[in-house]
Structure 1
Amino acid sequence: MRKIILLLIFLTSLNSYAQDLNYARKTLNTLTSKEFWGRGYTKNGMSKAADFIENQFKSFGLKPMDGKDFKQSFSFSVNTFPGKMELKINGKKLIPGEDFIVGQASAGVKAKADLAQKDSVNFLDDKDRILVNLKDKLTWSVSQKINDYTEILIKKSVLTEIPKSIETTIENVFVPEFKAANICAVVKGTTKPDSVILITAHYDHLGGMGKKTYFPGANDNASGVSFLLSLAKYYTENPQKYTIAFICFAGEEAGILGSKYFTENPLIDLQKIRFLINVDMVGTGEAGATVVNATQYPKEFALLNRVNDANKLLVKINPRGKAANSDHYFFTEKGVPAFFLYTQGGISAYHDVFDKPETLPFTVYENLFKLFVGFNKGLMN
């Protein structure tokens, strides 16, 4: 009974656990900067982001998860676009990222030709194997393969007439063994170090498309990494009885590859993980948040809601079932209980060049921090 009373008192007294919002903003700006080039596959963007995160862990005083190295290296294939990215339609020059994108699995091409109309949105240059597609919104991604044709997606609103002619130069480089790394750190528990609460977020994004265009990835997922680093800073200063562990994954945008690799090559015993919370896209929150796996772990979801309701932190937390849509998934498949939380409302930018730090409202960032601290305390009690 005494433990229950103490827990209830804690759940209604989270005001003293404030996030350093200035640190979070500064971190967000760094991760989305031109220097990091979309934390992707050209201009060493992902590698620079990995070094930054490792240095943050070191500066806080965290220890490597395996006791030796913060980085867990692995590799995978990826199609990249480091060179020329030029396009004219009907003689009009279009802007990469804003007016058009290339299909992520596209081959490089240099062509000047007429286009044949196939239907209202598809146009073809058969000779050079170019497919032009008109879209309401441009959404880019990452591919581990390369096609034998080139796909170009154009925003409908930038054209005043149907595409009749094309002039383009697109350069790609297929990398069969792109080297990446998960960044893994721990704050050792004071009395029960073999019980682990794991907090995760992917730090990679889409990188760049050509020499001048990159995808900042502010909400996806510099917001989650900034949040994770804030929690790492807090838990280093306030060690808990359980070990609090942190992983920033690479390769999520290419197919949740970093988390898959970790679960196949774990640096800690997966059976010792009491709970995992993965954060991805947490820079908004006007409409609350959604928790994937809520229906899989009703006891923990009820605890999360008790913390939230007692402190009036988020307007609502929506339950969602099992989904293979982020880095929690392969842990769940290995029997690790896990949530994936993302916020809702605010900006609509997603996988495009408009996902910028200045657009993120950080509406519930501080309250989300309090929610995590309270939830983790509840798990340990």
Structure 2
Amino acid sequence: MRLFKYSFYLLLVIFISCSTVKIPDTIEQIDQNDIYKHLSFLASDELKGRGTGTPENDRAAEYIAKYFSTIGLTPKGSSGYFQKFKVTTDLELQKNNSLIVNVNNETIQFELKKDFQPTGFSANGAIEGDLVFAGYGIEAEDLGYNDYADIDVKDKIVLIMRYSPDGEKPDTKFGFKVQSNFKVTIAKSKGAKGVILFTGPNTLENDKLISLIPDPSAMNAGIPVVSISTNKAIEIFEKAGRNLLEIQKQMDTTQQSKSFAFENARVKLQVELKPIVKETRNVIALLEGNDPVLKDEVVVVGAHYDHLGMGGRGSLASTKEPQIHNGADDNASGTSGLLELAEFFASKKSELKRSILFIAFSGEELGLLGSKFFVENPTIPLDKIVAMINMDMIGRLTENKLTIYGTGTSPRWKQLLNRLNSDSTFKYNFIDGGFGPSDHSSFYGKNIPVLFFFTGTHQDYHKPSDDFDKINYKGMESILNLVSNVLIDITTTPDKIEFTKVQGESQQQGRRMNVRVYIGTIPDYSEQVEGFKISGVNDGSPAEKAGLKAGDIIIKFGDKPVKNIYDYMYAMQGYKPGDVVDVIVLREGQELKLSITLGSR
């Protein structure tokens, strides 16, 4: 907590502790002072970063619900203003976690949390086996590189370095194959019993254990997986008469694998983790329109109110020590904008034809979980929702540059936005696609037109320094005036809001992953399942032509079992465009076999 904020926080605590929200005067315009009032509370140290599943996240939800009630909005959750759902927020180490490596009859002991730690995608289990070094654990025949070419890992425990021969470069030619989850998938597919990950001594970021943080895209790799310190990895190699640093340097220089099986090395590994499941809540309120017909059509206005809490997963802080991540821009800004718009339109209720559903989502930082849960468990019929407007990080307007996602999801959007900006207040950056890094994606996946307003990332993004004193309140006022005018147009005029599927969007995402074939499935991270669950398919895609549907869980692709997204990505590697692949999906509890003709990128 900064010293100059202390007296303000003290007054704020006194105000909030009174457990009432001051009834606002009816407003006729968006007011930056109102925005500041909401934002400075939501992003205060008092709320400790609003981490999903924390008491402070609940306090933020109560604040939002109370404000909705105060301005006269109708509760539209499953329980009053709230829609409850459960999330896995953490993993807890249990008593049975151990690692012992014996090399040439010398035993190396590992201390939990210091020398080794299970990963967030490890399976529970006790295993024992011979040790094999699989280099970087990468199989990329098209690049002339294969760490598995000269070794057999069946029924073995595999030792794998993180990253790649390119080092830590984010734009490595190996693409997504450098991801630890994916490396584990490859090892498992080749029969490995377990995997030990470590950072090589020739890599800049060395001697760091992988955090024990749940991964919604791969909660269970299917085999035990741990990470060990660089120093312990060096010790293993030394006792085997080998120099790890020199081996890694040769690999990095020659871009050739140096994999081998240890001659006399045995591993005993045990992992026992307990998922910590907590309850959190979306906050939902309805402002009903007045037209006898159009009031049944609903425009959703949304913003996520959760953030990173005390750091950890997703934090970009320079230290991993727990610190309050206030998330002023991400996304107290959007939440404050949501409350201001709710109050603004409550004062104009008599002018509305269509209804407006205001939703404050939780669980966004864990993988859009709140919005995913809503579209799978809507409190109003999805076919009544005609558009979704999302606000996420709208507090750092600079040089009037405003990014708007989803402008290609309805033919109405660009014309409307340009007309409302006839005085060139904003320098627009239009992005046609409806998928993107926020909650609008969940609605676009259900064929609903979307707009997502965003002022861009900055040096405080996902850091403790994202504080409310850095918000451009005047800029927020301008953005909310624009959003309010968009809403006035689409809620007071009878014109239909047509939906357009943006073509080629997934192909672009796929090219970044260096995948040769195109299928057109859209991942669903809303719940942890065994398999690869999809939230939808792209129009005209091979997936759609094969009959895949939203909610399907792919459990087998060709001859390879699929337990998570990384299994799915790996399974695609053996195919080329034009191949016909049989897939097994679970649909409503029943197994179904479908044939997909793979497309090209």
> Are the counterparts in 2 of residues 103 and 151 from structure 1 also a CA contact under 8 Å?
no
Q: Which of 330, 335, 358 lines up with 2:447 in the alignment?
A: 335
Q: Which of 188, 199, 213 lines up with 2:323 in the alignment?
A: 213
Q: 1:188–1:332: structure 2 CA closer, same or farther, 3 Å change rule? A: same
**Equivalent residue, structure 1, for 2:50:** 39
Q: Distance in 1 between matches of 2:448 and 2:199?
A: 53
- Pairs within 5 Å for 1:219-230: 219-230=329-340
- Pairs within 5 Å for 1:25-174: 25-41=36-52, 44-66=55-77, 69-79=80-90, 105=120, 118-124=201-207, 130=209, 143-144=215-216, 145=219, 148-149=226-227
**Equivalent residue, structure 2, for 1:161:** none
> Are the counterparts in 2 of residues 284 and 363 from structure 1 also a CA contact under 8 Å?
no
Check if 1:369 corresponds to 2:480. yes
Q: Distance in 2 between matches of 1:142 and 1:349?
A: 24
In the TM superposition, residue 117 of structure 1 has moved relative to its aligned partner by: 6.5
**Equivalent residue, structure 1, for 2:418:** 305
The amino acid that maps onto 1:368 is: I
> Relative to structure 2, which stretch is displaced further, 294-303 or 351-360?
294-303
- Sequence identity percentage: 30
**Equivalent residue, structure 1, for 2:297:** 195
Q: 1:317–1:243: structure 2 CA closer, same or farther, 3 Å change rule? A: same
1:118-165 residue CA offsets vs partner (Å, 9 max, x unmatched): 12413227xxxx369xxxxxxxx974559744899xxxxxxxxxxxxx
**Which has the greater radius of gyration?**
2
> Are the counterparts in 1 of residues 118 and 227 from structure 2 also a CA contact under 8 Å?
no
1:80-124 residue CA offsets vs partner (Å, 9 max, x unmatched): 79xxxxxxxxxxxxxxxxxxxx999499xxxxxxx9971241322
SS in 2 for 1:364: helix
> Relative to structure 2, which stretch is displaced further, 356-365 or 226-235?
356-365
Check if 1:235 corresponds to 2:345. yes
**Equivalent residue, structure 2, for 1:184:** 284
SS in 1 for 2:281: strand
> Are the counterparts in 2 of residues 54 and 70 from structure 1 also a CA contact under 8 Å?
yes
The amino acid that maps onto 1:321 is: G
Q: 1:80–1:207: structure 2 CA closer, same or farther, 3 Å change rule? A: farther
SS in 2 for 1:123: coil
In the TM superposition, residue 296 of structure 1 has moved relative to its aligned partner by: 2.6
SS in 1 for 2:419: helix
Q: 1:212–1:188: structure 2 CA closer, same or farther, 3 Å change rule? A: same
TM-score, normalised with respect to structure 2:
0.47
**Equivalent residue, structure 2, for 1:90:** none
Q: Distance in 1 between matches of 2:53 and 2:227?
A: 22
In the TM superposition, residue 364 of structure 1 has moved relative to its aligned partner by: 2.0
1:346-374 residue CA offsets vs partner (Å, 9 max, x unmatched): x4311111111111123421221221222
In the TM superposition, residue 275 of structure 1 has moved relative to its aligned partner by: 1.4
SS in 2 for 1:253: helix
Q: Distance in 2 between matches of 1:358 and 1:262?
A: 33
Q: 1:251–1:198: structure 2 CA closer, same or farther, 3 Å change rule? A: same
The amino acid that maps onto 1:237 is: S
Q: 1:286–1:175: structure 2 CA closer, same or farther, 3 Å change rule? A: same
> Are the counterparts in 1 of residues 311 and 323 from structure 2 also a CA contact under 8 Å?
yes
- Pairs within 5 Å for 1:224-303: 224-239=334-349, 240-287=352-399, 288-303=401-416
Structure ranking higher on relative contact order (CA contacts 8 Å, 6+ apart) = 1
In the TM superposition, residue 297 of structure 1 has moved relative to its aligned partner by: 2.1
Q: 1:104–1:69: structure 2 CA closer, same or farther, 3 Å change rule? A: farther
SS in 2 for 1:19: coil
Q: 1:66–1:205: structure 2 CA closer, same or farther, 3 Å change rule? A: closer
1:19-67 residue CA offsets vs partner (Å, 9 max, x unmatched): 1211111111111112211000475121111111111111111111258
Q: Distance in 2 between matches of 1:290 and 1:315?
A: 8
The amino acid that maps onto 1:124 is: D
Q: Distance in 1 between matches of 2:38 and 2:430?
A: 28
Check if 1:322 corresponds to 2:405. no
Q: Distance in 2 between matches of 1:305 and 1:106?
A: 46
**Equivalent residue, structure 2, for 1:359:** 470
**Unaligned ranges ≥5, structure 1:** 1-15, 82-101, 108-114, 133-140, 153-172
The amino acid that maps onto 2:204 is: V
Q: Which of 29, 42, 45 lines up with 1:18 in the alignment?
A: 29
Q: 1:49–1:104: structure 2 CA closer, same or farther, 3 Å change rule? A: farther
1:255-312 residue CA offsets vs partner (Å, 9 max, x unmatched): 0011111000001111222211001000022242111121232322221121122x54
Q: Distance in 1 between matches of 2:377 and 2:452?
A: 21
Q: Distance in 1 between matches of 2:229 and 2:331?
A: 26
In the TM superposition, residue 321 of structure 1 has moved relative to its aligned partner by: 2.1
**Unaligned ranges ≥5, structure 2:** 1-26, 93-116, 123-197, 231-272, 313-320, 494-601
**Equivalent residue, structure 2, for 1:4:** none
SS in 2 for 1:301: helix
SS in 1 for 2:283: strand
**Equivalent residue, structure 2, for 1:5:** none
> Are the counterparts in 2 of residues 42 and 80 from structure 1 also a CA contact under 8 Å?
no
Q: 1:195–1:373: structure 2 CA closer, same or farther, 3 Å change rule? A: same
> Are the counterparts in 2 of residues 131 and 151 from structure 1 also a CA contact under 8 Å?
no
> Are the counterparts in 1 of residues 86 and 279 from structure 2 also a CA contact under 8 Å?
yes
> Are the counterparts in 2 of residues 106 and 151 from structure 1 also a CA contact under 8 Å?
no
Q: 1:193–1:254: structure 2 CA closer, same or farther, 3 Å change rule? A: same
> Are the counterparts in 1 of residues 74 and 286 from structure 2 also a CA contact under 8 Å?
yes
The amino acid that maps onto 1:326 is: S
